[in-house]
Structure 1
Amino acid sequence: MYTMKKAQGVRPVRALILTGDLGDGHRQAAMALAEACGHSDSSVHAEIADYMREVYALAHPFMKYCFLKGVEKAPSLYGYLYRRSRMKEELSTFSRTFLRLGSSKLLELLHMHRSELIVSTFPLASAAVSLLKEQRLVHAPLVTVITDYADHALWIQPHTDLYVVGSAHVAHALRERGIAEERIQVTGIPIRSRFYNPSPPPAELKQRLGLDPLKPLVLVMGGGGGLLSDEARRLVQSEVLLERAQLAFLCGSNEAVRQELTAELQPAYASSVRVEGFVDNIEQWMGAATLLVTKPGGLTTSEAAAMKLPMLLYRPIPGQEEENAAVLEKSGVAVCARPDRRLLDQLLELLESPRRLEEMSRHAEAFCCGLSAELAWEAALELLQGRSAKSAEHPGWTAAGVREQVLEA
């Protein structure tokens, strides 16, 4: 078993974390991994690079806009495309052409960072590096960190050396695809260590946040983009709910939604509702909450599970969010809101069922693997150690050899 603390006199491994901002979870996982090895005596020196921004700099803003608007305005179409490509492990001609257009830029990026280990939290980046390894232009190990509880084919690439996954369900799905057991490690989706730290009592946290310490708190989130459904937003107008609990809406980067919700507040219940944009103390809000109402993104739900916070999952985007919701509900850490019933009614039922909420908290404790980001690095370093052990037979696999080959490419 590896430790993140390096031995005296040993140079840390240079790792490059490739991520992307088509969905906030990829970036958050990358930041959690970087934070885990950010101390001065770490055995890994990691840097983050946004694959889409760095490799497709001119096209990136347009592609990001189209992706986010497509998910928001045409989720059914997104779901159809997701399902259609879910099992197709071979890249299409279009995908190969698109990735090869960026191959020279990606090689320049690897050259600049002199990477001995490549970690990807973004499926397109994993596919691009795998193609370079196929052409023997890159020899550094590739570790793919899957940031959902799903096994879409785009994550599955022939030259990935190790898959870091969030649950036993995903590990089983990868084995069913024929991926060897030794290439899979269940660590949990990487999240920041603060979500595992002991939390003060909820009443104390509510006071810190300016909330009523005696009233249950329902936290409502829509992911980093603040994609709150109309039904979730209507909770702010429910007198029945606001008499029993207080609400906090975290709108992320969606300033328009934050302003609209603020304008919809009823004066009589304004003290029972908080509307916030992006916050950097999300662990305090989760620690103060009795229940989280959220879309089932991989990172947000992993953070909530680490804090043993029960979840009511609503309106999953067809595709990976539906798969996330199914895994989380089956594991007992969340309830999926039924579309044929009002979200408000299902929320009130959970608030009135403390025993059920306690059961969900216990299941969350069993669901989590521990310090997921640290466990991911341990698995990656063990992989690198295994590669280095072969250096006597294959000198090109030494750390120096990897650097020289990347530079030559």
Structure 2
Amino acid sequence: VLIVYATAGAGHKKAAQALESYLQNTRPELSSKAIDILDYTPKFFRALYSEGYTFLISRLPWLWFILYRVSYLLSNNPIFACIDYITSQPFIRLLKREKYDIVISTHFLVNSAISVYKNKNPEINLRLISIITDYNLHPIWISEAVSAYITSCGYVKDELIKRGVDEAKIKDFGIPAHPKFYASLDRGAIALKLGVDQSRFTALIMTGAFGIGPIEKIVESLAGKMQLLVVCGRNRGLYSRLSSANLKGVKVYPLVENVEELMSVSDAILTKAGGLSITESLIKGLPMIFFSNIPGLETANARVISGCGAGFIADAISDIKRAILSLESDRSLYEKTRLNINKIKHIDTLDRLSEFLLALS
């Protein structure tokens, strides 16, 4: 089993590595390996895809949104599929050489390249499993080369069916998260370890590795009203300023490796609507407040989750403050949101996906 991602955003890689870790530790009969398809493309293409994406979402989000909308019109365009195939020739040679039975993709670039490869080589018996790592469907994921789609939720499954995909090809298993997120942790023990006051409503604030968004203003508006756990990621300036401010009831962290512990001692999360962030929050049962979302893919994710009643969209600081204080003060609203989370979350994704792969092998 070859698991293939692309480093355009962190979620595709995290989902691939989560599945790789689980299979290697629990399913030794399945030989599995995760790779980045961009490592098998020319340097200019790799830079354009990965660094270009980061530049656009951080510096020119309006342009990114335009490109995102245009991409709906160009989905499954054979010219672009051929470009993906040509630029990923080292990856195609790897497939030919190793003769993998199953390829699992967590990025649509993989689907595009393999679709041309399979069309050119109809005799090969390669099964492509596509894990759609968002809570909204972009048609770029759809390809005749895909043997099965793994969806995040029923909404994405329904959208695939509307676009003509055979329901038998769709498995609503959820997006894979690292096995540590599925583990049941002792909240009291973790709170004691982290120095978190269990008696206070606790909100976790994090927006990915780069600490994007008006986090300082959010913290200032909420400090003293509840306990805050703030993850600054690689944003050293933000970490330094918040740490030196020494605000009451505010714990500040740099880039961390124990997000699952921070989630386990939190009551709600303020975050961007990335596919993996949503998945991890759902598993941990955390009501979500979305802000600073990337136009297009994350705003669409946020709409789906808020439409399910599992989260709230709040763009202005005043809206963010109102939403989190409502969750803190209105127990019925909080419990209703938790109930809606339980309706859409998947807690057995890795088990079901691995069993499905075993049945195919």
What interval of TM-score do these two structures reach, taking the shorter chain for normalisation?
Answer: over 0.9
Cα 1:233–1:86 change in 2 (3 A) is farther
Which residue of the partner structure matches residue 147 of structure 2?
161
What TM-score do the two structures reach when normalised by structure 2?
0.92
Name 2:258's counterpart in structure 1. 281
Q: Secondary structure at the match of 2:100?
A: coil
Structure-2 residue corresponding to 1:11? none
Aligned residue for 2:348?
Answer: 371
Q: 1:26 to 1:85 in 2, by over 3 A?
A: same
Distance 1:144 1:70 in 2: 26
Aligned pair partner of 1:296 in 264, 273, 283: 273
2:241 to 254, 263, 274: 263
Deviates more, 1:354-363 or 1:259-268: 259-268
Give the equivalent residue in structure 1 for 2:89.
Answer: 104
1:194 Cα shift?
A: 2.3
Name the CA shift for 1:71/1:41 in 2 (closer, same or farther; >3 Å).
closer
Partner of residue 249, structure 1:
230
Which position in structure 2 is the counterpart of 1:135?
120
- Report what 1:53 is aligned to: 39
Instruction: Return the index of the structure with the highest Cα Rg.
Output: 1
2:174 corresponds, among 160, 163, 188, to 188
Aligned partners of 1:194 and 1:283 also within 8 Å:
yes
Distance 1:175 1:41, change over 3 A: closer
Q: 1:243-292: per-residue Cα shift (whole Å, max 9, x none)? A: 2222222233x2xx2332422456452x5222222222111100100110
- Is residue 314 from structure 1 mapped to residue 291 from structure 2 by the alignment? yes
**Letter in structure 1 aligned against 2:238:** E
Equivalent residue in structure 2 for 1:65, among 28, 31, 51: 51
State the 1:375 CA deviation.
Answer: 1.8
Q: Does the alignment pair 1:121 with 2:98?
A: no
Report if aligned partners of 1:315, 1:339 keep a CA contact under 8 Å in 2.
no
For 1:337 and 1:183, the matched residues in 2 are separated by 36
Shift of 1:179: 0.6
Unpaired stretches in structure 1, ≥5 consecutive residues: 1-14, 386-409
Instruction: State the shift of 1:92 in Å.
Output: 5.3
CA distance in 2, matches of 1:153, 1:41: 32
Instruction: Call closer, same or farther: CA 1:364–1:109 in 2, change over 3 Å.
Output: same
- Whichever residue aligns with residue 263 of structure 1, its letter is R
Normalised by the size of structure 1, how large is the TM-score?
0.82
Q: Is the 8 A contact 1:236 1:265 kept in 2?
A: no
What is aligned with 1:406? none
1: CA distance between counterparts of 2:27 and 2:311? Answer: 38
Q: Quote how far apart the aligned CAs of 1:141 are.
A: 0.4
User: Where does residue 282 of structure 2 map in the other structure?
Assistant: 305
CA shift for structure 1 position 88: 4.1
Does the CA-based 8 Å contact 2:272-2:293 persist in structure 1?
yes
Alignment check: 8 A CA contact 1:237 1:265 kept: no
How many residues in Structure 1 have an aligned counterpart in Structure 2?
360
Greater relative contact order (Cα < 8 A, sep 6+): 1
CA contact (8 A) 1:313 1:325 kept: yes
Question: Which of 212, 236, 254 is matched with 1:228 structurally?
Answer: 212
Give me the whole-angstrom Cα distance separating, in 2, the residues matched to 1:268 and 1:195: 30
Gaps of 5+ in 2: none
2-side partners of 1:217 and 1:199: how far apart? 17
Percent identity between the two aligned chains: 25
What do residues 1-46 of structure 1 show as CA deviations (whole Å, max 9, x unaligned)?
xxxxxxxxxxxxxx00010110100001001111221126533121
Aligned ranges for residues 351-366 of structure 1 at < 5 Å?
Answer: 351-366=328-343
